[in-house]
Chain A
Amino acid sequence: MDMRTSDDTAQLYRQLILPMEDRMMRTVWRIVREPEEARDTLQDALTRIWRKIHRIHNHPNPQALVLRICADAAVDTLRKNRKKRDYSNPNLLSQMADDSCKESIERLVRLETEAEVMEAISRLPKKQALAVLMRVVQEESYSTIASVLGCKEATARIHVSQGRATLSRTLAHLQIPFSQEVKK
């Protein structure tokens, strides 16, 4: 019988989590981008990790699975916040029409862009969102993505591709065409 104690769990937690705490924090922060929300998200992720620690330990790629759990919790935060935020009037620039301060305008443009991107990610199917974030933000290989999503590598590629395609359509107005960038 598998009789695991809380001491075993705590030991595994320390062995597995402490060496990769930096990557975990950065993963959560890069997706959530709001300090209080990031801390809440990290707490949520740690709770999930603690519950699954033995399964994670036995996984062929435990580090990637931990990062997937962090990204998963972060996407959940985005989705939860989508319901709270008022996106009906996302044009923050209009509120600053008279503001001549370049820095303020740039900041607002950035916030607006960030909000739109996060909104678009939160609307993706969960696996597509995770696959895109793991590929683009965490720069994981397709085989790693497949192993933590529990699918074949080809399926992982499809998730990333479909997620990118949806984001590309949704966020087309925010992207500088690649051809223009090359010309520069």
Chain B
Amino acid sequence: MTGEEKRELGVDRLLKQVMLDDLPAELRVGMQRQIRDFKPVPQTNKKLWLTAASLILVVLGGYLQMTGSRSPLAESLATLQTSMSFSIEMERTTSMACTVELERMAGDKLHYEIVWAPPGKTRVDLKAKNGNAVQTLWIDHNLACVLDYADQSVKRWTSLEEFEHPLFRPVMGLLTPQRIAERMDGRWQLQTSKRQGNCDVGNYRIIHPQDEQEIRLTVDVCTFLPEKIVMSVPVTGPFGRMDQIRMSVLFSWNRPIPASYIKIPTKPAYKKTGSITKQTQEE
């Protein structure tokens, strides 16, 4: 036996002496129960799927740019009308409110309520299952902060450009009518149309030419304002596992919003140096 082999045997024997196969019976029972009753923590991949969800709006914009050719259906008057820029109508709105549901195939859900009022205030509530706001994102022109109801803390105001928050990332494209319009402009294909009150409501869709992912848009043809956007996007989760994220946005436009609802609890003061502080609002 060589010296090396002797050393190896010595190490192996030492490891086996230390790492005895002597699992205590009580611990064995506990661990067995642990294995059999194992439930994965739902929040494990929350950050990852939120990141993926935030891509939905980017994807939406990308689809619209890619679908350039017009089908025979698109020659209909309604399609010609809706292929105009949404931004023209959206710029005239006096308020915007929408609810956003994000749902992962695995079962996780997030619910947001967004209210925008001109000239530049936005309130985004991230809601719990019981309907209470868990966190609120406040935006005042180009500044943003998050109010956390758990510890009643208002996070530091920061510029909107630099604002980064994993929980609010998916809805950053829906904060203002202008942002939404930028992502909606494009050519849509009319699927169905029906009369609602004095106006037609058209259902349009875009199908991605490669993977046939579909985005459905419901538009009030009188106002050219969107009522609903529904889309689902496949995402690749950890270790290549496929998942599906469904996003549903329901809009309401030009409805009066109580001043108290949009009253921002703190007022930002942006210094030229770039540092941001908060002050008590004196409105």
Which A residues are within 8 Å of any B CB, using their own CB? Answer: 1-6, 13, 17-18, 21, 24-26, 28-31, 33, 35, 38-39, 42-43, 46-47, 50-52, 54-55, 113-114, 117-118, 132-133, 136-137, 161, 164-165, 167-168, 171, 174-179
Given contacts A13-B38, A26-B21, A26-B23, contact A164 B240 (CB under 8 A): no
Question: Distance in Å from the Cβ of B14 to the closest Cβ of chain A?
Answer: 5
CA of A68 to CA of B40, assembled, Å: 20
List chain B residues, Cβ under 8 A from A51: 40, 44-45, 238-239, 241
Q: Which B residues are CB-close (under 8 A) to A28?
A: 31
Report yes or no: B15 in contact with A136, Cβ–Cβ below 8 A: yes
**Contact residues in B for A175 (Cβ distance below 8 Å):** 10-11, 13-14
B279 close to chain A: CB less than 8 A = no
A-B contact list, 17 entries, CB within 8 Å? A4-B242, A25-B35, A28-B31, A30-B23, A39-B34, A51-B239, A55-B239, A55-B240, A55-B241, A164-B7, A164-B12, A167-B15, A168-B10, A171-B14, A174-B14, A178-B7, A179-B6
For B41, give the chain A residue with the smallest CB separation: A47
When the two chains form their complex, are residues A165 and B7 in contact, meaning their CB atoms are under 8 A apart?
yes
Are B241 and A4 neighbours in the complex by a CB distance under 8 Å?
yes
Q: What's the least CB distance linking B49 to chain A, in Å?
A: 13
Identify 13 new A-B residue pairs, CB closer than 8 A, beyond the known A54-B241, A178-B1: A2-B241, A6-B106, A25-B28, A30-B23, A42-B31, A43-B38, A51-B241, A55-B239, A55-B240, A164-B7, A168-B8, A168-B11, A178-B10
Interface of B: prevailing SS: helix
- Closest Cβ–Cβ distance, residue B151 to chain A (whole Å): 27
A127 CA to B22 CA, complexed, in Å: 25
B265 CB to nearest A CB, Å: 38
What sequence of 0s and 1s flags, for each residue 24-42 of chain B, a beta carbon within 8 Å of any chain A beta carbon?
Answer: 1001101110111010110
A179 — which chain B residues lie within 8 A by C-beta?
A: 6
- The minimal Cβ–Cβ distance linking B9 to chain A, given in whole angstroms, is 5
Asked if B84 lies at the interface with its beta carbon under 8 angstroms from chain A, I say: no
Question: Contact between A46 and B34 (Cβ–Cβ < 8 Å)?
Answer: yes
CA A31 to CA B19, docked complex, whole Å? 6
| Interface membership of B73, Cβ < 8 A | no
B99 interface contact, C-beta 8 A: no
Min CB distance A157 to B, Å, is: 12
With a cutoff of 8 Å between Cβ atoms, the chain B residues found around residue A50 in the complex are 38, 40
Against A, the Cβ 8 Å flags (1 = close, 0 = not) of B80-103 are 000000000000000000000000
CB atoms of A35 and B24 under 8 A apart: yes
A114 to chain B, nearest CB (A): 5
Q: Which residues of B contact A33 (CB under 8 A)?
A: 19
**Is the CB–CB distance between A137 and B31 below 8 Å?**
no
On whether A168 and B7 interact (CB within 8 A), knowing A38-B27, A51-B44, the answer reads: yes
Q: Does B119 have its Cβ within 8 Å of any Cβ on chain A?
A: no
The answer to whether B21 touches A30, judged by C-beta atoms less than 8 angstroms apart, is yes
Question: Taking the complex as formed, is B61 at the interface, i.e. its CB lies under 8 A from any CB of chain A?
Answer: no
With a CB–CB cut-off of 8 A, which chain A residues contact B18? 113-114, 117-118
Q: How far, in whole Å, are A42 and B242 apart by their CA atoms in the complex?
A: 26
A164 and B8 within 8 A (CB) = yes
Q: How many angstroms from the CA of A4 to the CA of B238 in the assembled complex?
A: 13
Q: How far is the CB of A116 from chain B (nearest CB, A)?
A: 9
In the complex, B244 has a CB within 8 A of chain A: yes
Instruction: For the complex of A and B, list the 5 residue pairs with the smallest distance between their C-beta atoms, beginning with the closest.
Output: A30-B19, A178-B6, A175-B10, A2-B242, A168-B7
Distance to closest chain B CB from A37 (angstroms): 11
Specify the chain B residue showing the minimal Cβ separation from A30. B19
Cα of A179 to Cα of B44 in the assembled complex, Å: 52
- When distances are taken between beta carbons in the complex, the residues of chain B under 8 Å from A42 are 31, 34-35
Rounded to whole angstroms, the CA-CA distance of A168 and B6 in the bound complex is 10
Tell me, yes or no, whether B173 is within 8 Å of chain A by CB. Answer: no
Say if the beta carbon of B16 comes within 8 Å of chain A: yes
